[in-house]
Amino acid sequence: MSPNIPDVHKYSPPGHCNVQAVTIPSEMSAFCRMPLGYGPFPGPRQTTSGLPHHGWNEARSTTYSLIFKADKSHLSTFLPNEHFRIDTENGLAYASFALVHLENLPWLAGRGYNHFGFYIHDVVCKDGADEVRGKYLIVLFEDCADAITSGREELGYAKLWADLSAKYESTNMRLCLGWDGSVFGELSINGLRNNEGDVPDPAKVSFRPMQGILHYKYVPRTGSPGEADVQYPTFTPAPAEGTSRVLRTALSQTGHFGFKALSFAELPTLHHVAARLSELRPQGPVDCIVIEEVGVSDISSQRILRA
């Protein structure tokens, strides 16, 4: 073997087929995901060579956020355990829904997709002797299976699949969430007006400034119902300054969201999620913000918290 070629782990497929073994350099820092035996798994954070993608500075995103206040004690029931708490001064807390339309993604060879998330603001979680403050991601619906798999396994994002059918107009947006023809959720924003001045960041509309997005990663243990192979908080730091450039912002105070508690027959794998979301009741007016940007993060800065 040439001294310039690193030592490798080799995998040879079973049987007698004449298939060349796949090699992965032992010192390569790369994600491997099932199915194994094919080298590093390509995704948002790496190519098949285990290297980062180029071109994230040319990817585009348009975020439609609806921010509302709700009963703090009710929102707290969505948090996974005692490591997380909502830190506000009264009985109300901020929460938000956000639809993000992504385009020209390098890891999808220029394609894009949509995701729709439910966030609780002003959540704090221990990180060793410190505390981290952020939005807690309750659930993220996506219409791209490849993004769901990588996000759940590599990042600890609570991702689920849904059909995200959105209609965009110059001053309005309407989103329907569905599964196999059953519509269980809706978000609409109307009367958008372009904004020429500073626009509030949806991540910062809260009791105190936030540092990023909080999650809780959980993987069940095979053959042992109720036991976890993996469970710990993870954290998405806010993107570094200069990651994106804002092209357009728009504001509105006219928006609506609603969810239906459909039956098992209509929504066999998501009826329990839709039922909980249907309980949400906004308190007071809503704020709607649209931000169109060029430049997107690959979220490679994701880390585990020491709760």
pLDDT in tens, 18-35: 434 455 555 457 889 999
pLDDT in tens, 69-122: 999 999 999 999 999 999 999 999 999 999 999 999 999 999 999 999 999 999
- Asked if the model's pLDDT at residue 258 lies above 70, the reply is yes
- Asked if the model's pLDDT at residue 14 lies above 50, the reply is no
What band does 58 get if pLDDT is binned at 50, 70 and 90?
very high
Q: In this prediction, what percent of the chain has a pLDDT beyond 90?
A: 81
pLDDT at 39: 87
223 domain residue, yes or no:
yes
12 domain residue, yes or no:
no
Dist. CA 107–CA 58, nearest whole Å: 12
Dist. CA 270–CA 275, nearest whole Å: 9
Q: What is the CATH number of the domain that holds 71?
A: 2.40.400.10
Total count of domains within the chain: 1
- Asked if the model's pLDDT at residue 127 lies above 70, the reply is yes
How confident is the prediction for the chain on average, in pLDDT? 89
- Asked if the model's pLDDT at residue 179 lies above 60, the reply is yes
What band does 208 get if pLDDT is binned at 50, 70 and 90?
low
269 domain residue, yes or no:
yes
- Asked if the model's pLDDT at residue 68 lies above 50, the reply is yes
pLDDT at 302: 97
161 domain residue, yes or no:
yes
- Asked if the model's pLDDT at residue 202 lies above 50, the reply is yes
Dist. CA 105–CA 295, nearest whole Å: 10
pLDDT in tens, 211-256: 899 999 999 999 999 999 999 999 999 999 999 999 999 999 999 9
Dist. CA 55–CA 103, nearest whole Å: 12
pLDDT at 204: 52
pLDDT at 209: 66
29 domain residue, yes or no:
no
39 domain residue, yes or no:
no
Range of the domain at 188: 57-304
pLDDT at 16: 36
35 domain residue, yes or no:
no
282 domain residue, yes or no:
yes
